[in-house]
Amino acid sequence: MKIAAIVASVVLASATLLANGESFFLPANRGPVDLVYFARVKNARTGRPIEKPPYVTIVDPYSGIILPFVGDKPGHFRSPDIGAAIKEVTTHPIDTRQLEIVVTASGYQTVKVANIPRQSKGTIELDVKMEPKTGAAPAVASQETTPTGPPGTPSPADSMKPTIYLLAACFGLAAISVAARRAVRQTTTAH
């Protein structure tokens, strides 16, 4: 009985262990990926992973695709398959120079990733470092951070509220598009 209890607890704990960021690095369930980005977001001052979940938005201006998603608490993130999403919308080749990747996290300054590798296929690691927020503006702005505006402009913390609403709207639109695709497929198979 003790062995069975130990085996059961190990099996149940394995899902918890995978949920601690490791699931972001597993391969896609539906075969090979077209284009996926992942990172362990780090504190720019200490070099250690941030303790907050990062909110990431990837925009492809050519196709109009906006992919918002959330990472996990130790600062990991893994994007949805951007390549597959772009290929669903257009036959134009993916131009990674056009992609915009913005990362926000509570207690940190918003970062626009400046060095996106030119590789347009596969699983690609990004180097993302975030400056902690302080009471005063930092003396030297990081090359990867978005510039702060003039006094009186909203802080990145204020901009997180619209991001959450944007996330909810995008997930709603995604649900509507899935329902529309299923309806079209059902009418197509009926003929």
In whole angstroms, what is the distance from residue 113 CA to residue 105 CA? 14
Would the pLDDT of 120 be above 50?
yes
Task: Give the per-residue pLDDT at 55.
Answer: 96
> Per the domain annotation, does 137 fall within a domain?
yes
Alpha helices, H only, the chain: 2-19, 82-89, 156-190
Count how many domains the chain has: 1
For the question of whether the overall pTM of this predicted structure is more than 0.75, the answer is: no
Collect all residues with Cβ–Cβ distance below 8 Å to 45 and sequence separation of at least 6. 131, 132
Would the pLDDT of 162 be above 70?
no
> Per the domain annotation, does 14 fall within a domain?
no
The upper half-sphere exposure of residue 35, i.e. CA atoms within 13 Å in the direction of its Cβ, equals 22
Asked if 109 and 149 touch (Cβ cutoff 8 Å), the reply is: no
Asked if 118 and 70 touch (Cβ cutoff 8 Å), the reply is: no
Asked if 102 and 56 touch (Cβ cutoff 8 Å), the reply is: yes
> Per the domain annotation, does 7 fall within a domain?
no
Collect all residues with Cβ–Cβ distance below 8 Å to 81 and sequence separation of at least 6. 28, 33, 34, 35, 36
> Per the domain annotation, does 6 fall within a domain?
no
* Confidence band for 165, pLDDT divided at 50, 70 and 90: low
> Per the domain annotation, does 146 fall within a domain?
yes
> Per the domain annotation, does 12 fall within a domain?
no
Q: What is the pLDDT of residues 14-65, one digit of tens each?
A: 444 444 444 444 444 566 889 999 999 999 999 999 998 999 999 999 888 9
Asked if 103 and 49 touch (Cβ cutoff 8 Å), the reply is: no
Task: Give the per-residue pLDDT at 6.
Answer: 55
Here the CATH number for the domain that contains residue 154 is: 2.60.40.1120
> Per the domain annotation, does 11 fall within a domain?
no
* Confidence band for 139, pLDDT divided at 50, 70 and 90: very low
Would the pLDDT of 68 be above 90?
yes
